[in-house]
């Protein structure tokens, strides 16, 4: 289960200068992260050059990076990437469309939570990859198959974060609105949903990585005409198969990193008051 953000806090509770301070604190982390990647690549290159591992078994890091750079200009590979991204985006949108309303319902109506919790706790531990064979039978269309598997695996962080976010809403704020005659839907829209939004955003960020993993996993297991997973399957039979497979995997990792950075930046811009309260933590 993904980590949950801190409870919502009004914007006026923290000065705006807390955000730049958090940004300064993140700079050393970024430099250390880049340094760690460079050290890893340098170590892998040295191990390969020393022939500790046969380059035919594990290609040199420099060769893999060169191959990955070449894929950026390969129209066929980019078409595969586009197919994966289409499934990722559609699957993530379906996940949010299902998980957020369901989470709001479960978190707002205690009897519903009591009735639904056994099903949630039963389904949540099931590995998403395990449902792919069954989904292949029920949904023969490749895009439909990806959407169903992505939604099944990625729904949980969004759903659970939404439910827990509702629990952290200030009860005084809700009682105040009720005292002024506002109904349940007005309280939900004016207080509960805005306060829960940072929790939902964190869940969506976690779900985006899960969605990418599952999109590629479905392509690897079910095949198809396009997708990064399909490219990996096809590359396995070529002469430079291992190098091409690892290069494609590098691109999958870069896409996951890019999505995480994109969603993190969006969180900080949309919820500056929450970033300020948590000291700039993502």
The pLDDT tens digits for 85-130 are 999 999 999 999 999 999 999 988 889 989 999 998 999 899 888 8
Q: How confident is the model at residue 273 (pLDDT cuts 50, 70, 90)?
A: low
The pLDDT score that the predictor gives to residue 240 is 77
Instruction: Determine the pLDDT at residue 38.
Output: 82
Instruction: Provide DSSP, 141-205.
Output: SHHHHHHHHHHHHHHHHHHHHHHHHHHTS-HHHHHHHHHTT--HHHHIIIIIHHHHHHHHHHHHH
Query: Of 23-37, 162-176, 247-261, 262-276, which one has max mean pLDDT?
Result: 247-261
Give the residue carrying structure tokens 């899960």.
210
Does the pLDDT at position 14 exceed 70?
no
Residue 252 pLDDT grade (very low, low, confident, very high; cuts 50, 70, 90): very high
Whether 195 shows a pLDDT value over 80: the answer reads: yes
Q: How much is the pLDDT for 274?
A: 63
What per-residue confidence (pLDDT) applies to 87? Answer: 94
Residue 13 has pLDDT above 50, yes or no: no
pLDDT at 7: 40
**Between 203 and 142, the higher pLDDT residue:** 203
pLDDT digits (tens, 9 = 90+) for 153-192: 999 999 999 999 888 887 777 778 778 777 777 777 778 8
pLDDT higher than 80, residue 3: no
Can you give the pLDDT at residue 275?
Answer: 55
pLDDT of 80 reads 94
pLDDT of residue 2: 41
Token pair of 54 as six digits: 């046969």
Helix or strand holding residue 1 (H, E)? none
- Structural domains of the chain ordered from first start: 75-277 (1.10.3720.10)
pLDDT digits (tens, 9 = 90+) for 20-78: 444 445 567 778 878 888 888 888 778 777 777 777 777 888 888 899 999 999 888 99
Instruction: Report the candidate in 16, 228, 210, 184 with the shortest Cα–Cα distance to residue 94.
Output: 210
Q: Count how many Cα atoms sit within 13 Å of the Cα of residue 268 in the half-sphere of its side chain.
A: 20
DSSP string, 52-71: SS-TTTS--HHHHHHHHHHH
- Sign for the CA dihedral angle at 231, 237, 238, 242 comes to positive
């Amino acid at each position: 289960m993904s980590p949950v953000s801190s409870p919502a806090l009004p914007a006026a509770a923290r000065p705006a200068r807390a955000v730049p301070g958090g940004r300064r604190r993140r700079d050393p982390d970024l430099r250390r992260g880049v340094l760690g990647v460079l050290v890893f690549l340098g170590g892998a290159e040295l191990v390969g050059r020393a022939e500790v591992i046969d380059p035919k078994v594990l290609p040199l890091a420099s060769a893999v990076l060169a191959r990955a750079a070449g894929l950026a200009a390969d129209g066929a590979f980019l078409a595969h990437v586009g197919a994966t991204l289409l499934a990722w985006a559609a699957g993530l949108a379906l996940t949010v469309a299902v998980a957020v309303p369901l989470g709001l319902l479960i978190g707002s109506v205690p009897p519903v939570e009591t009735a639904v919790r056994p099903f949630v706790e039963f389904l949540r531990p099931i590995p998403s990859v395990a449902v792919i064979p069954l989904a292949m039978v029920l949904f023969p269309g490749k895009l439909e198959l990806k959407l169903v598997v992505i939604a099944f695996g990625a729904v949980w962080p969004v759903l659970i974060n939404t439910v827990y976010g509702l629990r952290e809403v200030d009860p005084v704020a809700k009682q105040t609105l009720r005292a002024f005659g506002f109904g349940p839907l007005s309280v939900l829209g004016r207080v509960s949903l805005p306060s829960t939004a940072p929790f939902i955003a964190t869940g969506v960020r976690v779900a985006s990585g899960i969605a990418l993993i599952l999109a590629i996993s479905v392509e690897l297991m079910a095949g198809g005409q396009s997708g990064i997973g399909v490219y990996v399957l096809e590359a396995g039979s070529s002469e430079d198969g291992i190098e091409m497979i690892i290069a494609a995997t590098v691109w999958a990792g870069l896409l996951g990193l890019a999505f995480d950075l994109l969603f993190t930046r969006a969180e900080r811009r949309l919820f500056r008051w929450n970033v300020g309260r948590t000291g700039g933590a993502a």
